[in-house]
Homo-oligomer: A and B are copies of this chain.
Amino acid sequence: MKKILAELLTIGDEILYGQIVDTNSQWMSVELDKIGAKVVRRTTVGDVESEILTAFAEAEKRADIILITGGLGPTSDDLTKDCLAQYFNCSIAIHEEALAEVTEFFKSRGRELTDLNRQQAALPTACDKITNALGTAPGMWFNKGDKVFMSMPGVPHEMKKMMTDFVLPRITKKYQLPVIYHKVIRTVGIGESFLAEKIADWENALPPHIRLAYLPSLGEVKLRLTGFGTSLEQLEAETNQLVEKLKERAGQFIYGYGEDPLEVVIGQTLRDRKLTLSIAESCTGGYLSHLITSVPGSSEYFLGSMIPYAYEIKMRQLGVKPETLEKYGAVSEPTIIEMANIVRAKFSTDIGVATSGIAGPGGATPDKPVGTVWIAYSDKYQTVTKKLQLSKDRMLNIRLASIAVLNLIRQSLPK
């Protein structure tokens, strides 16, 4: 079977000047890899017509599918559409369906369509329109013999929605791609190298047609098994057997499979078991509540939070005893126990969790350096606490402490 080769072409001075980070390319690479297309090159050029046209021609020589992002804004420095029209030797005209979509987009936001926005509905006549459900610039799909050029906005969430809803399914339909089966196993609470040591013998015994990749990200490590073959059913069965063996070695760190992050898995468990949650978070400053409420439907199990950032608010609003704060300080086990118990009682929830720590860079004391964080879990059966010693970086501490609380909930829920 012929391999389908892909090239990612990013257009925009703001990338070349380093004013924004290109996060799109990595996401697209992963998604293309999943459907069995091989990315052979990434190219970034500036907002210069000749460079864009040259890049099109070069990419066409190397790849079967050329995925272009950027340069679709309504302003004069955005040249992608004009260049595509030139390259495909066609004119640009108002696309009625695209116009209806962009009009509706503005209407739904109670805003008037400007002339500049109307021009975003003008497309090269040689392309198929790709609907932009989250923005005003439509995407474009151009066939050229066996090859395809696709153009999408550089705004990440707009591009991702187009890729998922339209581009990836259409590529899969157009080309005969090898059968690939992916299984992602999600772990939390263990570092990459410790996990690797723990499962070394299992990894070494993997058959040659099934590959393992470690995908560490903030606070967790994902393992991805990728099987290549001709039968999806067979690959799936083989992979599932391997996962069963993996569970024997590292089962307590596995919290889920596939796409769902920890906050979704926790939410599903709380919903299924009809348990409610409240939060008293200090050093995490709202990030923990944000993780929980980023999940659609979280209002079914999450009732609310208190963020008692200041000392007085911990006492007067949450109700931590002054003598506890005075004797042990805000970052201490006695305080965190009170915080979790009080928020659970006040908010009348099954579970209460709490955080208090030194996120940094300020606030450290000799015995409580930056990165010292206490977390607690409380339900009617037990109160569990944990002391974390994290990093010197404020944002990292906020994120790692929040993930640690999610993991504490996972480990502590009544059986």
Q: Is the interface of A mostly helix, strand, loop or mixed?
A: mixed
Residue pair A19, B213 in contact (C-beta under 8 Å)? yes
Residues 1-39 of A, flagged 1 when their CB comes within 8 A of B and 0 if not, give 000000000100111111111110111111001000001
Within 8 A of B (CB), among A110-127: 110, 114, 116-117
Cβ < 8 Å to B, chain A residues 255-309? 279, 281, 285-290, 292-294, 296-299, 302-309
Known: A17-B30, A363-B299. A390 touches B41 (CB 8 A): no
Q: Kindly specify which of A43-51, A84-92, A143-151, A237-245 makes contact with the partner chain.
A: A43-51
- Cα-based distance from A392 to B104 in the complex (angstroms): 13
Q: Which of A356-415 contact B (CB under 8 A)?
A: 359-363, 369, 371, 389-396, 398
Tell me whether A347 is interfacial, beta carbon within 8 Å: yes
Known A-B contacts A41-B43, A389-B109; the reply to A192 vs B30 at CB < 8 A is: no
Q: Are B290 and A286 in contact (CB under 8 A)?
A: yes
Instruction: Report the nearest B residue to A116, measured CB to CB.
Output: B193
- Asked if B30 and A26 make an inter-chain contact with CB atoms under 8 angstroms apart, the answer reads no
Tell which of B22, B109, B292, B293 touches A390, judged by Cβ atoms closer than 8 Å: B109
B residues within 8 A CB of A222? 19
> By the criterion CB–CB under 8 Å, are A196 and B303 in contact?
no
Which listed residue (B16, B40, B309, B313) contacts A51, Cβ 8 A?
A: B40
* Interface check A247, CB cutoff 8 A: no
Count copies of this chain in the complex.
2
A96 beta carbon closer than 8 Å to chain B: no
Q: State A363–B298 Cα separation when bound (angstroms).
A: 11
The answer on a CB contact under 8 Å between A18 and B22 is no
Complex formed: what's the CA distance from A164 to B279 in Å? 36
The answer to whether A19 touches B73, judged by C-beta atoms less than 8 angstroms apart, is no
The answer to the question of A232 belonging to the interface, with a C-beta cut-off of 8 Å to chain B, is no
State A342–B45 Cα separation when bound (angstroms). Answer: 53
**Cβ of A251 < 8 Å from any Cβ of B?**
no
Q: Which A residues fall within an 8 A CB radius of B?
A: 10, 13-23, 25-30, 33, 39-46, 51, 58, 73-75, 77, 108-110, 114, 116-117, 133-134, 155, 157, 184, 192-194, 196-197, 212-217, 222, 224, 279, 281, 285-290, 292-294, 296-299, 302-310, 312-313, 317, 346-348, 359-363, 369, 371, 389-396, 398
Q: Report 18 cross-chain contacts, Cβ distance below 8 Å, ordered by A residue.
A: A13-B213, A14-B215, A17-B30, A20-B26, A22-B22, A40-B45, A40-B51, A43-B43, A74-B192, A75-B196, A77-B212, A116-B197, A117-B193, A296-B361, A297-B362, A302-B309, A303-B312, A304-B309
